[in-house]
Amino acid sequence: MPKPVRLLVAGGGTGGHLFPALAVTQALEERLPLKTLFVGTARGLEATLIPQRGYDLELLSVSGLYRVGALKKLLGLAKLPLAFLQSARILRRFQPQVVLGVGGYAAGPMLATALALGYPVCLQEQNAFPGMTNRLLGKYAPLSFVPFAGLEGTFKNPVVVGNPIRKELLQARGQAGQRPASPFTLSVLGGSQGAAVLNQAVIGMLPLLQGQPIRILHQAGTANLEAVQSAFAQFPGVQAEVLGFINNMAQLYQESHLVLSRSGSIVNEIMALGRASILVPIPFSSGDHQRQNAIKMQQAGASILLEQADLTPQLLWQQVQGLMQNPGQLQAMEAAASHLFAGDAAALIADKMIEFFRLDQA
What is the mean pLDDT of the segment spanning 249-261?
93
Half-sphere exposure of 57 (CA within 13 A, CB side): 23
Residue 318 sits in the same domain as residue 194: yes
What pLDDT does 43 receive? 86
Nearest to 111 by CA among 155, 147, 151: 155
- DSSP letter assigned to residue 152: T
**pLDDT for residue 177 is more than 70:** no
Packing angle, helices 327-340 and 266-273, rounded to 10: 110
Do residues 184 and 256 lie in contact, with contact meaning Cβ atoms separated by under 8 Å? no
What mean pLDDT, rounded, does the chain reach?
89
What pLDDT does 166 receive? 85
Kindly list the distances between the CA atom of residue 109 and the CA atoms of 114, 198, 291, in Å, as whole numbers in the listed order. 8, 33, 29
Percent of the chain with pLDDT over 70: 91
If one counts the domains in the chain, the total is 2
**pLDDT for residue 66 is more than 70:** no
67-126 pLDDT, tens per residue?
555 666 666 566 678 999 999 999 999 999 999 999 888 899 999 999 999 999 999 998
Residue 157 sits in the same domain as residue 49: yes
Residue 123 sits in the same domain as residue 247: no
Do residues 40 and 47 lie in contact, with contact meaning Cβ atoms separated by under 8 Å? yes
pLDDT-derived band at 342, boundaries 50, 70, 90? confident
Q: How far, in Å, CA of 362 to CA of 360, rounded? A: 6
Kindly list the distances between the CA atom of residue 1 and the CA atoms of 4, 200, 265, in Å, as whole numbers in the listed order. 9, 55, 38
- For β-strands 34-40 and 56-59, DSSP reports them as parallel
Residue 112 sits in the same domain as residue 181: no
Domain that holds residue 45: 5-165+343-361
Kindly list the distances between the CA atom of residue 13 and the CA atoms of 44, 85, 168, 246, 276, in Å, as whole numbers in the listed order. 4, 20, 21, 16, 27
Residue 211 sits in the same domain as residue 144: no
- What SS3 state is found at 10? strand
Residue 186 sits in the same domain as residue 306: yes
Q: How far, in Å, CA of 44 to CA of 70, rounded? A: 22
pLDDT-derived band at 1, boundaries 50, 70, 90? low
What pLDDT does 283 receive? 85
Half-sphere exposure of 81 (CA within 13 A, CB side): 2
Residue 312 sits in the same domain as residue 354: no
pLDDT-derived band at 151, boundaries 50, 70, 90? confident
> DSSP H helical segments within 138-195, as ranges?
167-173
Length of the chain as a residue count: 362
How far is CA 197 from its chain centroid? 18
Residue 174 sits in the same domain as residue 322: yes
**pLDDT for residue 179 is more than 80:** no
Residue 52 sits in the same domain as residue 158: yes
- The alpha carbons of the chain give a radius of gyration, in whole angstroms, of 21
CATH of the domain at 223: 3.40.50.2000
- The pTM for the full model equals 0.81
Q: How far, in Å, CA of 143 to CA of 120, rounded? A: 9
pLDDT-derived band at 178, boundaries 50, 70, 90? low
What pLDDT does 190 receive? 78
Tell me which H or E stretch contains 37.
Answer: strand 34-40
**pLDDT for residue 282 is more than 80:** yes
Residue 93 sits in the same domain as residue 188: no
Residue 332 sits in the same domain as residue 357: no
pLDDT-derived band at 201, boundaries 50, 70, 90? very high
Q: How far, in Å, CA of 17 to CA of 10, rounded? A: 10
What is the mean pLDDT of the segment spanning 168-188?
79
What single string gives the DSSP state of each residue in 89-148? HHHHHH--SEEEE--STTHHHHHHHHHHTT--EEEE--SSS--HHHHHHTTTSSEEEESS
